[in-house]
Amino acid sequence: MGQFMKQNLNEESDIASTLGVDRSRGSGRGSKLWLVGALVVLAVVMALVFLKDSNSSSAIQYRTQEVQRGELTVIVTATGTLHPTNQVDVSSELSGIIKTVEVDYNSKVKVGQTLAALDTSKLEAQVTQSKAALESARAKVLQAQATVRETRSKLGQLRRVKELSNNKVPSQVEIDAAEAALDRALADVASAKAAVSQSQATLDSNLTDLSKAAIRSPVNGIVLTRSVEPGQTVAATLDPPVLFTLAEDLTKMELIVNVDEADVGHVQEGQKATFTVAAHPNRTFEARIVQARFGSTTTSGVVTYETVLKVDNMDLALRPGMTATADIIVKKIENAVLIPSAALRFTPPIQEEKKPSTGLLGALLPRPPQPATRQREDTSGRKQQHVWTLRGGQLTAVPVTIGSTNGSMTEVVVGEIQPGMAVVTDAVSSAK
């Protein structure tokens, strides 16, 4: 047996020498490979420990705000311009030269008061000519009437002669001629009377033009603009120039605002509003909607709708053309449960979500992003969302159905939310 084992050892030594393998050298290389593997495992473990320490080196703190119960006022903001209740542009129906101007800017005027006057020399001459033509027409009427009396007398004389002569003289031709002459005289009278009427109409027209030479105020009000001076020529055309602009009553004004199409569904007649102007930054004025117009206006792709608000301006602090910013109160909700709108925008950080362990590979590889929670709507069309509260230091989602909002606070219609409950509005990381 000993000889057999010795023989086997000699054979293995011969094989090793034949293959060129040194047994002692192979044993050293295996030790090195084992050492390298141990170093790699140690490096991975240290990296995991470092990653865990870095993740745990910061803690997440949550900002909360209490749920309230109170009044929610929903406001629609719009900008616009102040206008007089009734604004009138005054022009001239006649062409001519302005002789005098009786009023100036800010002058208070009454109905019928003369604002300016045209030179009436030509108009007065036309009136005189029309009067002469009328007198001439009336004289022709008298002349025609005299001719009628003359022809009628001749016709009567001829008829008596014929009757006395037992129808012998005059002849029937002479009687017919006399009758025709009478008819012509009567026609001349009618024509002369028509000429009188025509001359009278021409005179009335010239007198009307003469009266219109004085440009008068059609309303009681104030002069906003004056665009005419004495000596200026006025041309009456299809589009005459505006000489004066009058405001009927500045104690009652209109604010015309442009409401965005997203808010116009909430705006209705009778709603109250407040507005401010740059001229009085520390003062708030009151107004009320009197008309919500259906016609739209598109400017740079933005669709707006004009809304008219009635404004009381007894102290005349407001002036036409001022730009105003109005807050229209479209809804007031009493005793509503209110949460901060920021709580609806809060999204829990990924670190707070509990995920199953995936081992070393899952720790090293990044996780895919999680899909956002979709909003749902209940049967009434209201949006259903989630808010988050802290229970035992852990985030807990509470489903809610929201209603109206004013931007900072939102009404909760349905949900396990009570006044005084703290809801999470934001998450802040703080280093330990």
Q: What is the pLDDT of residues 297-307, one digit of tens each?
A: 999 999 999 99
pLDDT of the residue at 386: 85
Phi, psi of 255, deg, nearest 5: -110, 115
CA distance 375 to 35: 57
Per the CATH hierarchy, to which homologous superfamily does domain 76-85+251-333 belong? Answer: Efflux pump adaptor protein, beta barrel domain (2.40.30.170)
pLDDT at 91 exceeding the cut of 50: yes
**What is the model's pLDDT at position 240?**
86
12 has a pLDDT exceeding 60: no
Phi and psi (nearest 5°) for 242?
A: -85, 120
Please answer whether residues 116 and 101 qualify as being in contact, where contact means their C-beta atoms are separated by less than 8 angstroms.
Answer: yes
Confidence of residue 374 (pLDDT cuts 50, 70, 90): very low
- Which pLDDT value is given to residue 385? 86
- Classify residue 212 by burial, with Cβ atoms within 10 Å: 0-12, 13-18, 19+: middle
Q: How far apart, in whole angstroms, are the C-alpha atoms of residue 390 and residue 42? A: 40
Question: In terms of Cα–Cα distance, which of 357, 114, 126 is closest to 214?
Answer: 114
Q: What is the mean pLDDT of residues 409-432?
A: 83
pLDDT, average across residues 13-25: 47
Least confident range from 1-10, 75-84, 178-187, 406-415: namely 1-10
Whether 61-69+337-431 and 76-85+251-333 share one fold: the answer is no
Q: Report d(CA 383, CA 344) in Å as an integer.
A: 11
Structure tokens at 153: 């007398």
d(CA 34, CA 101): 114
List the structure tokens of 262: 């997203």
For residue 184, the model assigns a pLDDT of: 95
pLDDT at 353: 44
- Topology classification of domain 92-234: Helix Hairpins (1.10.287)
pLDDT of residue 368: 53
pLDDT, tens digit, 9 for 90 and up, residues 333-344: 999 999 999 989
Cβ neighbors of 246 (< 8 A, separation 6 or more) are 87, 88, 90, 109, 217, 218, 219, 221, 222, 223, 224
Q: HEC string of 54-96?
A: HHCCEEEEEEEEECEEEEEEEEEEEEEEEEECCEEEECCCCCE
pLDDT single digits (tens) 208-249: 999 999 999 999 999 999 999 999 999 988 888 899 999 998
Q: Label residue 167 by pLDDT band (50, 70, 90).
A: confident
Contacts of 44 (CB under 8 A, 6+ apart): 360
pLDDT tens digits for range 21-50: 444 444 555 566 777 677 777 776 666 655
Domain 61-69+337-431 class?
A: mainly beta
Gap between the Cα atoms of 326 and 318, Å rounded: 14
**Amino acid 260: pLDDT:** 94
What is residue 45's predicted lDDT score, i.e. its pLDDT?
64
User: What pLDDT, on the 0 to 100 scale, is given for residue 373?
Assistant: 45
> Where exactly are the structural domains of the chain?
61-69+337-431, 76-85+251-333, 92-234
Unique residue bearing structure tokens 């240290």 = 46
- For the stretch 250-282, pLDDT in tens is 999 999 999 999 999 999 999 999 999 999 999
Predicted local distance difference test score (pLDDT) of residue 296: 93
Arithmetic mean of pLDDT, 181-209: 95
